Amino acid sequence: MRGTGLAAIATAVMLLVEVFASGVHAQPAAKSLLEGLNLEEVKAHVEALSSFGSRFTGYPGYYRAVEYVVAALKGLGLEVELHAFNATVPLDYGAEIEVDGSRVKAYHLYPNLVALGSANVSGQLVYAGRCTPGELAGIDLEGKVAVVQFDSEWVEAVARGAKAVVFLGPATDRLSALRKVLQIPLDIPRIYVEEGADLVREAARRGAYATITGRYEWVKVPAYNVVARIPGSSEPEKVVVLAAHLDS
């Protein structure tokens, strides 16, 4: 695979910025340049980066992404710098639910500020669906583990006394995922299950008891900014910065 896709992406981004800044008069030039964008190469880069698994800082996929981008930029003949620094991140070593003699793999959700909510709890599972008023009517969640759909109003379960929340996949969209994170340090175990979701749902409907274990820690890890410079042909005193997240 050739490395021109990244250059094309950078060109397209700069062009779109210029279009929005300059108004409709810049659109013909933008259209001409965008027509030269090789979408197959862009797709190849996206597929490669998406194949690394989680690219969250500190996970193996993040470091593979750094190596990939460095190699692609060097393939364009650019000089590449790595700016190393340390970052403290929540590192999920995994979790599982033991119920009805089965072990179901689970994942911790992003912390509520500094509160990790590490999954180490036992109790009765109670299915609360999407936590609508009708579904919660008559359900006793005090001191129990609420099992809810991913796109639920899960805070209602916590307000009713649930001591942990299990989200059942599949996940829907980014906005729904962001609603799982609070801007207060609510320290309550919250885990996500995809494979095995049906088993956990049925167990919760029967009121089965389960043990949830996991390891989730704040860890200082090495992180990097990848920097490549393209000298300008005019106005060298000016700098245009194009930035993107490696861990997104």
* Res. 245: pLDDT tops 90: no
Please list the helix, strand and coil fractions of the chain in percent, rounded to the nearest 5, in that order: 35, 30, 40
Residue 78: Cβ-neighbour burial (10 angstroms; 0-12, 13-18, 19+):
middle
Q: What is the pLDDT of residue 28?
A: 66
The C-alpha R_g of the chain, in whole angstroms, comes to 23
pLDDT tens for residues 154-175?
A: 999 999 999 999 999 998 777 8
How far is it, in rounded angstroms, from Cα 228 to Cα 41? 20
Per-residue pLDDT of 68-109, as tens digits, reads 999 999 998 999 999 999 999 999 999 999 999 999 999 999
Tell me the one-letter amino acid at 62.
Y
What phi and psi, each to the nearest 5 degrees, are found at residue 175? -60, -40
How far apart, in whole angstroms, are the C-alpha atoms of residue 82 and residue 70? 9
CA within 13 Å, CB half, 147 = 28
